[in-house]
């Protein structure tokens, strides 16, 4: 818990420097647990283009994402769990698809893994780029839907699929971006009701693992994440 408090102070200081806002203003935004939901309700995006624009243009998801890492113990510990898996399976290259504020990229890159970050190009993307440069981390930056993904030993896709219009299409893209025998590390909170989670995606909570099997993914473990290995 002490480490998480330290990270909260660090996050707030970084947000002050990046946004130019005062510490009091940043703290008010940072500790507001409904900030992103309120922004989503105000924007009320309906189409895929509107959803992408929301994540590209709004700063509220940055505060929400950083707060999540310092208040949810399981989420915070997941970065250590992910590193342990990478070390155990000799992962050299990894992609964080839907990388948000870059926590997984930062943690894994600091421990010698060649990281690539991918998300919607916009405010959060630029904040993550700023964070990586501040730490002198050589992390490749890709714009989701615009830049080719390349090939990796492992792809992280957590808390992403419930936000996109076509999860199977996204997973097919990630399957193509994995080396033979590579690993997909994912979460599927389709049935968690939040304003930003697309309601039509609830149906995938019961079918997505069958879809993954049909694509050529074999389940190999489940903790905070679900782990899959590419077999075909």
DSSP track, 35-92: HHHHHHHHH---SHHHHHHHHHH-SHHHHHHHHHHHH-HHHHHHHHHHHHHHHHTT--
Sign of CA dihedral 3, 129, 100, 60: positive
Domain match, 169 and 145 both: yes
**pLDDT at residue number 139:** 98
Domain match, 139 and 55 both: no
| pLDDT range class, residue 124, cuts 50, 70, 90 | very high
Domain match, 165 and 193 both: yes
Q: Is 177 helix (H, G, I), strand (E, B) or coil?
A: coil
**pLDDT at residue number 127:** 98
Domain match, 83 and 32 both: no
**Does position 55 have pLDDT exceeding 80, yes or no?**
yes
**pLDDT at residue number 48:** 87
Domain match, 62 and 85 both: no
CA distance 77 to 115: 19
**pLDDT at residue number 1:** 67
For residue 119, the enclosing domain spans 76-230
CA distance 126 to 18: 10
| pLDDT range class, residue 102, cuts 50, 70, 90 | very high
**pLDDT at residue number 5:** 83
| Contact (CB, 8 A) for 117 and 150 | no
Sign of CA dihedral 86, 90, 96, 100: positive
**Does position 185 have pLDDT exceeding 70, yes or no?**
yes
| pLDDT range class, residue 163, cuts 50, 70, 90 | very high
Q: What is the mean pLDDT of the chain?
A: 95
**Does position 232 have pLDDT exceeding 90, yes or no?**
no
Domain match, 100 and 191 both: yes
Mean pLDDT of 31-52: 91
CATH of the domain at 138: 3.40.50.150
Of the residues 36, 70, 104, which one is the last residue of a structural domain? 70
pTM of the model: 0.95
- Look at 153-157, 198-202, 220-224 and tell me which has the smallest mean pLDDT: 198-202
Q: Phi and psi for 142 in degrees, rounded to 5?
A: -120, 145
């Amino acid at each position: 818990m002490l480490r998480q408090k330290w990270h909260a102070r660090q996050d707030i200081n970084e947000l002050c420097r990046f946004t130019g806002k005062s510490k009091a203003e940043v703290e008010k935004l940072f500790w507001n647990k409904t900030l992103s939901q309120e922004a989503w309700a105000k924007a009320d995006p309906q189409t895929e283009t509107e959803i992408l624009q929301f994540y590209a243009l709004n700063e509220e998801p940055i505060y929400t994402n950083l707060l999540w890492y310092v208040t949810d113990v399981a989420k915070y510990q997941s970065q250590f769990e992910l590193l342990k898996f990478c070390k155990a399976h000799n992962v050299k290259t990894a992609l964080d698809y839907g990388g948000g504020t870059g926590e997984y990229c930062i943690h894994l890159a600091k421990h010698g893994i060649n990281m690539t970050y991918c998300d919607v190009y916009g405010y959060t993307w630029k904040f993550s780029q700023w964070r990586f440069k501040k730490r002198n981390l050589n992390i490749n930056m890709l714009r989701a839907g615009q830049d080719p993904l390349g090939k990796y030993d492992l792809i992280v896709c957590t808390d992403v699929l419930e936000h996109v219009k076509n999860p199977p299409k996204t997973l097919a893209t990630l399957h193509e971006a994995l080396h033979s025998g590579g690993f997909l590390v994912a979460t599927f909170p389709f049935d968690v009701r939040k304003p930003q989670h697309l309601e039509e995606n609830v149906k995938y909570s019961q079918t997505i693992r069958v879809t993954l099997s049909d694509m050529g993914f074999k389940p190999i473990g489940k903790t905070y994440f679900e782990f899959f290995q590419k077999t075909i």
